Amino acid sequence: MKRKKSTGEYLAFLSVKYEVNPDALFCALLEAGEKGEAKCGKLSIEHRGKIRDRAVFLILEESEVVAQFSVSKNFLSQQGNPIRTFMETDIVRRYINRETKPVHSGAIQDLRAGMRNVKLEAKVLEVTKSKLVVTRYGNNARLAKAVIADETGKIKLCLWNEQIDSVSAGDTIKIENAKVSVFSGERQVGLGKNGTLNSIDDPSHQQMLMDLPSTPT
């Protein structure tokens, strides 16, 4: 049976995942408890009330919900920063080890579901019309899918919100820190929170990819 994470472990994990100093995170929790809300790097923390002796917090990154959890009064009243006690626990180590795996760089034909830290260069063949969807956190978001290709094959790229307007059919792009999944039996690439997508300005790269067919086959 999987052991439930303690409050300290979970907060340490969030600190590492969202690249927030644990001292700043703990101070933001205390501030949100007093004032109702606080900022911590790219995260916003809201105090949503109490359940018995536990304070309930909601953490968001921009408008997307990151986490909702409760923290005991005893934890918040500890001297120093109790989060730091959990920065070397297994959950944090596993996440760091997973995120620091070698970068998968190269051809679309070699991409497999489950790959992370994917880096590739491709031509955008097509971008579907965006549609409004409800995320698993209950938020509304725009979603579109692009078909991208290199000399070895093609794959779908998920685009969310402002990402949709950053690419057009015919563009040559560079993707970094992406991940590969399978949806309805098809491979697809997602940028997640940490992935990046940029246009390629180097003419030599552009020419190689521009030679590909301009429409998907």
* pTM of the predicted structure, to 2 decimals: 0.51
Query: Residue 172: is it exposed, middle or buried by C-beta count within 10 angstroms (0-12/13-18/19+)?
Result: buried
What's the CA gap between 214 and 147, in Å, rounded?
11
Q: Residue 17: its pLDDT value, please?
A: 86
Q: Residue 137: its pLDDT value, please?
A: 62
pLDDT tens by residue, 25-76: 999 999 999 999 999 988 999 999 999 899 999 999 877 888 999 999 999 9
Q: Where are the domains of the chain?
A: 7-99, 104-210
Q: Residue 19: its pLDDT value, please?
A: 85
Q: What is the mean pLDDT of residues 81-107?
A: 78
Q: Residue 68: its pLDDT value, please?
A: 92
CATH superfamily, domain at 104-210: Nucleic acid-binding proteins (2.40.50.140)
In this structure, the chain runs to a length of 217
Q: Residue 3: its pLDDT value, please?
A: 59
Mean predicted lDDT score pLDDT of the chain? 84
Q: What is the mean pLDDT of residues 79-108?
A: 79
- Taking the CA atoms of residue 45, residue 49, residue 51 and residue 52 in that order, the dihedral angle to the nearest 10 degrees is 110
Q: What is the mean pLDDT of residues 132-158?
A: 86
Q: Which two tokens stand for residue 89?
A: 């626990």
Q: Are 189 and 178 in contact (CB under 8 A)?
A: yes
